[in-house]
Amino acid sequence: MERKVVVLLSGGLDSAVTAAICRERGFSVHALTFRYGQRHSIEAQAAVRVAERLGVARHVTQTMDLRAFGGSALTGDLDVPRRANALEIERGIPATYVPARNTIFLAFALAFAETIASTDIFIGVNAVDYSGYPDCSPQYIEAFERLARLATKAGVEGADFRVHAPLIAMSKSQIIREGVRLGVDFSITHSCYDPAEDGAACGACDSCVLRRKGFKDAGVIDPIRYVARTGD
């Protein structure tokens, strides 16, 4: 019998590689995507394409509106920071941090997992080439695992919930090379925080800068469209 897993699928390259890893391992992938009031819907549209390309068993898109709280450049009126290159990315927590976003997402994933009798959740967080988000750390993942075992019927009855973060210790270039090995079509992924109306990536937000550097370091051509490629 196939082992079911829940994968958080944003439509970005990290989550696409994570889902591909699950597929290679023979898991039955149940993907979960969020329309959470982010600045655009292009990311969620990319998730649909990735799910279809990978042939997941089920894909659920959950809608909520975190713009009701704001507090982020992705869900409020703050400007998305623009950089010339990765060296300009500041240490600390950036304006694109969405308050408690991964905790909210993982809570939904946990509910999804419990309903399909799964004890495994996969998330594409990264603690190497990331922009200072506190909910992308190994300590956070371990803490949520403990919560999952305490806060669910299945956990209280002995289910050993695991939150897997297979990319957490990899650089962006290593993630991209792994995606190439797995046959991930990066042209259908989306990473930009603030794309143009036609879907082209801005090329200068933190996510674009880290993505572009990752492809350059990996020696792989990034197949998506950019408005500008400053700093190359």
In a domain? residue 224: no
Q: For residues 212 and 129, which has the higher predicted lDDT (pLDDT)? A: 212
In a domain? residue 174: yes
Question: Rounded to an integer, what distance in angstroms lies between the CA atom of residue 189 and that of residue 44?
Answer: 10
Model confidence band, residue 105 (pLDDT cutoffs 50, 70, 90)? very high
Given a cut of 50, whether residue 219 has pLDDT beyond it is yes
User: What are 189-211's pLDDT values in tens digits?
Assistant: 999 999 998 999 999 999 999 99
In a domain? residue 231: no
User: What are 6-29's pLDDT values in tens digits?
Assistant: 999 999 999 999 999 999 999 999
Question: Rounded to an integer, what distance in angstroms lies between the CA atom of residue 56 and that of residue 51?
Answer: 6
CA-closest candidate to residue 175, choices 29, 20, 68, 64 = 20
In a domain? residue 230: no
Q: Which domain holds residue 92?
A: 4-218
Q: What pLDDT is recorded for position 232?
A: 45
Question: Rounded to an integer, what distance in angstroms lies between the CA atom of residue 205 and that of residue 230?
Answer: 11
In a domain? residue 128: yes
In a domain? residue 119: yes
User: What are 173-188's pLDDT values in tens digits?
Assistant: 999 999 999 999 999 9
Q: What pLDDT is recorded for position 106?
A: 98
In a domain? residue 228: no
The total domain count for the chain is 1
Instruction: Give the end-to-end CA distance of the chain in Å, rounded to a whole number.
Output: 48
Q: What pLDDT is recorded for position 230?
A: 46
Query: What is the mean pLDDT of the segment spanning 152-167?
Result: 96
Tell me the CATH number at 102: 3.40.50.620
Q: What pLDDT is recorded for position 231?
A: 46
| Residue 205: Cβ within 10 Å count | 24
In a domain? residue 177: yes
